[in-house]
Amino acid sequence: MAATAYDAAMRRALDLAARGPVTGGNPQVGCVLLDASGAVVAEGWHRGAGTPHAEVDALSRVADARGLTAVVTLEPCNHTGRTGPCSEALIAAGVSRVVYAVSDPGHESSGGAERLHEAGIEVVPGVLADEVAAFLHIWLTVAARGRPWVTVKWASTLDGRAAASDGTSQWITGTAARQRVHEQRAASDAILVGSGTVLADDPALTARGDAGELLGHQPLPVVVGERPVPADAALRRHPAGLVETGTRDLGRILAELHERGVGRVYVEGGPTLASAVIAAGLADEYAVYLAPALLGGERLAVGDLGIRTISEARRLTITSVEQLGEDLLVMARPERRS
Active site residue 183: no
Enumerate the domain spans of the chain. 3-143, 147-334
DSSP character for 214?
A: B
Given the residues 55, 75, 268, 285, the one annotated as active site: 55
Closest by alpha carbon to 303, among 276, 269, 278, 275?
275
pLDDT of 283 > 60? The answer is: yes
pLDDT band at 48; cut points 50, 70, 90: confident
pLDDT score, position 49: 82
Per-residue H/E/C for 150-201 = EEEEEEEECCCECCCCCCCCCCCCCHHHHHHHHHHHHCCCEEEEEHHHHHHH
How far is the C-alpha of 266 from the C-alpha of 255, rounded, in Å?
Answer: 15
The three-class DSSP label of residue 316 is: strand
CATH of region 3-143: 3.40.140.10
How far is the C-alpha of 152 from the C-alpha of 331, rounded, in Å?
Answer: 10
How far is the C-alpha of 191 from the C-alpha of 193, rounded, in Å?
Answer: 6
pLDDT tens digits, residue range 85-127?
Answer: 899 999 999 999 999 999 988 666 567 899 999 999 999 999 9
Mean pLDDT of 237-263: 95
Fold that domain 147-334 belongs to in CATH: Dihydrofolate Reductase, subunit A (3.40.430)
Whether 203 and 197 have beta carbons less than 8 Å apart is answered as: yes
HSE-up (13 A, CA, CB side) for residue 191: 32
pLDDT tens digits, residue range 69-78?
Answer: 999 999 998 8
pLDDT of 45 > 70? The answer is: yes
pTM above 0.75, yes or no: yes
